[in-house]
Amino acid sequence: MPISFSRRSLLAIWVAAAFTFGATPRLAADLTWSASTGWQVEGASLAGLTGTQGRTALDLMNKARREEEAGSRGSAIKAYEKIARKYTGSIYAPEALYRAAYLLDQRKQYYKSFLDFQELLRRYPNTKRFNEIIGEQYRIASALIDGAHNRAWGWFPTFSNRTRGIEFFEVILLNAPYSDYAPLALMDIARGNQFIKSTEDAIDALDRLINNYPQSVLAPVAYLKLGDLHASLTEGPKYDQAATKEAMTYYEDYMILYPGDSNIAVAAAGVDKMKTVLALSKIYIGDFYFYRRLNYTAARVFYNEAITAYPDSTPARTAKKRLTDLDARMAKDSVRPKTAPKKRFWFF
C-alpha cells in the first residue's frame, strides 16, 4: 500500500532534512561593509578561503554590493547567489544569501526571497541572524496572506496566493517552534484559511495554538475564534447540533479560563445563542413526535431536554407550553370512548 503524507507532514520532513543535511557551522568571524573600504573580515584567516580563491570571492562580494548600491538589484542578486553557490564554506556565503534574499524581497519576489532565507537557515542554522531571518520570513508570509502579489522577474505581478502564505507559515512554525513567532504563525494560518474558506483547517490551527501554547497571550483570542468558527458551521436548529455543542464548549472554556478578560460579554452572547439553537432543536424533534407520530412519551422526553438545555429562556417557555398541550391531549384521548374494531370478512 503506498504511503501518503499530509501537506504538514511533507513540510515537517522537508524542514527536518534541511536542518540535518548540508548544515555548515558558523565561522567565528564577522563580515562588515564600509563604502570606503568595501567588505572586510575581522580576522582574515577565519574567512574560510585563502589565496586566489579568497581574493576572488571578496572581489565578487564588493562587485555585488556596488551594483546593489547603484540600484542594479537584479545583477546584485545574481552575483550574491553565485557567491553562495560557489563558496559555501566561506564567511561570504551566508552574507551573500542574506543580501540576495533581502533584495528579492525589495523587488517583491516574495517566493524566491523566502526560499533564499530558508536556504540560509538550512546551511547555517547557527547564524546570529536567526531571529531576524524568522522575522523576515514572517513578514513575507503575512504579506501573502493579506493578498500581496508576487512579482515574477521582479516586475510582472502574478495572482495573489494565500495558500502559499499558509505554507510559509507552516515552515516558520517548524523552523522556530519555541519562539514567539510560533503562536503568531498559527493564528495567521487560521486567518489565511478563513480567507480561502477552509474553516476546518482554521479550526485545526487554532486548536494547535491552545494546546501547544496555552500560556500565549493569543490563547484567549483563539478560544473565542474557535467558538465563532464552530458557530459558523451550525446550520440551525433543524440540523445536526455537533458544531453547536463544540462552539458552546469553547465559549464556556473561555469564560472559565479568562474570567477577567474584556470579551466575556461576547463569549456570554455566544453561549446564549448556541444554547438557544440547541434548545430549539429539541423542540423541533419533540414536535415531530407529538404532531406527526403521536408518540407522546418521546415528545415529552425532548420537550424536557429543551427545558434542561436552557432553563428560563424563550425556547424553554415554548417547551413548557408544549408539555401543557401534550397533557391536555393525553387527557382527552383517555376519556374518548374506544370503538370496537371493525369486523373483516375474508373471501377465499
Domain parsing of the chain, residue ranges? 217-332
Q: How far apart are CA 119 and CA 5, in angstroms?
A: 23
Q: Pick the more confident residue, 90 or 207.
A: 207
Q: Between vectors from CA 22 to CA 16 and to CA 24, what angle results, nearest 5°?
A: 110
156 forms bridges with which residues in the sheet? 152
Q: Which residue has the higher pLDDT, 312 or 246?
A: 246
pLDDT tops 80 at residue 78 = yes
113 and 104 in contact (C-beta within 8 Å)? yes
Model pLDDT, residue 347: 58
Q: Give the pLDDT confidence of 280-304 residue by residue, as tens digits.
A: 999 999 999 999 999 999 999 999 9
Widest distance between CA atoms in the chain: 120
Instruction: Give 170-204 pLDDT, tens digit per residue.
Output: 999 999 999 999 999 999 999 999 999 999 999 99
- Between 145 and 332, residue with greater pLDDT: 145
Q: Given pLDDT bands bounded at 50, 70 and 90, which one contains residue 271? A: very high
CA-CA-CA-CA dihedral for 172, 178, 179, 184, to nearest 10:
60
pTM for the complete prediction?
A: 0.83
Q: What is the chain's Cα-based Rg? A: 32
- The class level of CATH for 217-332 reads mainly alpha
Give the residue-averaged pLDDT of 203-229: 97
At 36, is the pLDDT very low, low, confident or very high (cuts 50, 70, 90)? confident
244 sits in the region (left: phi over 0; alpha: psi -120 to 50; else beta) called alpha
Span 245-268, average pLDDT: 96
Q: Using alpha carbons, select from 220, 221, 213 the residue that is nearest to residue 191.
A: 221
Cα(first)–Cα(last) distance of the chain, in Å? 64
Cα–Cα distance measured from residue 314 to residue 311, given in angstroms and rounded to the nearest whole number:
9
Instruction: Tell me the average pLDDT across 112-124.
Output: 96
